[in-house]
Amino acid sequence: MPRPFKQVDVFTAQPYLGNPLAVVLDGTGLSDAAMQRFAQWTNLSETTFLLPPTEAGRQGGADYRVRIFTPGNELPFAGHPTLGSCHAWLQAGGQPRAAQHIVQECQVGLVAIRQEGPRLAFAAPPLTRSAPSPMLLAKVAAALGLKAHHIVAAQMLDNGPVWLGLLLDSVQTVLQLTPDHLELKNLGLKVGVAAVEPAQDAPVLIARSNREARAFGEHAAEPGEAAPEPTVEVRAFAAPVGILEDPVTGSFNASLAQWLIADGHAPARYLASQGTCLGREGRVWVERDASGQVWVGGESVTCIDGQVTL
C-alpha cells in the first residue's frame, strides 16, 4: 500500500550536507521483516517507521512511537533519526500533546524533544559508562593507526547504542585517521573519536560566548552575524552495523557530551562538527542545562517528500 514518506537531511540547514534519514510516516501493519528489508534497500545509515504510541507510552505522554533500523539491525535509540523523525512528524501536521516538549517513544523509553528556534533538540538518554580494557583499547588503537600519546581518555559509552569513545589530542589527529574498517568490524565494536580545541584568549572566548548565547536561545543569531565556530570535531566508525563512517551521529554525540562535560574535558555548551572527511558539514549543538540534563540539537531539512509502496 502507498504510505507517506520523507527523506530528511539532519544536523544541517542546507540540503545534502548532513546525515540523510528515510522516514515512513505510517508504519502500521508492517512486520519486523518488512521494516528491515526496506531499511536495507534504502541503504541509509537509518530508516525510521512512525507508529501510534503503545498504551504505556500514551500514558507517559508520548506523541508518537518510532522504530529505528540500520541496513543490518534495529536500534533501541539513535539521535539523528530522533530529530529527523520529529521534524517529519511536525511537518506532516503532528500536534504535540504538551506545550513544552514533543515526546517520542522508542525502545529505550520516552525521549523529550524541544524546539529551539529553527532547531530541535533531544534530551540525552541516561548514560552508562566504564573504562575499556587495556587489551581492547590497544586493538582499537592499532586499527585506527593511533599511538598511545594520541589518546587523552577513553570510555565505553552506552545510552542504548554502545560506543567506544576516544578523546584524542588534536583536531588534526581526528581528521587524519585512516581506520582499518575490516579490523573494526572483526572487533565487533562501534568507535567514536573526538577532539576539543584548546581554550583561547579571554576576549575571544567572551565574544564567542555571546554569539553562542544568542544562537542557543529561542531565536537565531542576529542578521549578518556569523554562526559560532565548532570547538569539537567528531568522527564515528560503525563497520559492525554496515556503516564504515557515519556522517553525523546524534546518539554518540549525546553520550560523548555527557562524558566530556562531566569530566571537565568540554564546557557545558558547545558546537560540534562532524562529517568533514565525508564532504559533509554536520553541526551538533550541545547544552547541559541547570538541572544537569544534556540536550543535543540540530536543524533538519526535507529533501524528498512523497509516497513509498510497502
Counting the structural domains of the chain, the total is 2
The pTM for the full model equals 0.89
Same domain, 109 and 138: no
Q: What integer pLDDT is reported at residue 216 of this predicted model? A: 46
Q: Based on the fold, state whether residues 141 and 158 are members of the same structural domain.
A: yes
C-alpha cell of residue 257: 557530551
Residues 31 and 86 in one domain: yes
Q: 303 and 288: one domain? A: no
Shared domain for 70 and 133, answered yes or no, is no
**Same-domain check for residues 42 and 175:** no
For residues 26 and 169, membership in a common domain is answered with no
Please give the pLDDT value at position 219: 37
Do 177 and 103 have their domain in common? no
The answer to whether 166 and 191 are in contact (CB under 8 A) is: yes
> Are 106 and 191 part of one and the same domain?
no
64 burial level (CB within 10 Å; 0-12, 13-18, 19+): buried
Answer yes or no: do 259 and 221 share one domain.
yes
**pLDDT at site 117:** 87
Q: In terms of Cα–Cα distance, which of 125, 53, 134, 129 is closest to 96? A: 53
What's the CATH code of the domain at 116? 3.10.310.10
Q: Are residues 256 and 191 in the same domain?
A: yes
Q: What integer pLDDT is reported at residue 226 of this predicted model?
A: 59
pLDDT at 200: 56
Give residue for cell 507517559. Answer: 60
> Do 288 and 151 belong together in one domain?
yes
Q: Give the DSSP letter string of 35-93.
A: HHHHHHHHTSS-EEEEEPPPHHHHHTT-SEEEEEE-SS-EES--HHHHHHHHHHHHHTT
Instruction: Give residue 9's domain range.
Output: 2-121+299-309
For 155-214, write each residue's pLDDT tens digit.
999 998 999 999 999 999 999 999 999 999 999 999 999 999 986 544 444 444 444 444
* pLDDT for the residue numbered 201: 44
| Structure confidence at residue 198 (pLDDT) | 85
For the chain (length 310 residues), average pLDDT per consecutive 10?
Answer: 97 97 98 97 95 97 96 91 98 93 95 94 96 97 97 96 96 97 96 88 44 42 61 96 92 97 97 97 97 98 97
Contact 48/300 with Cβ under 8 angstroms? Answer: no
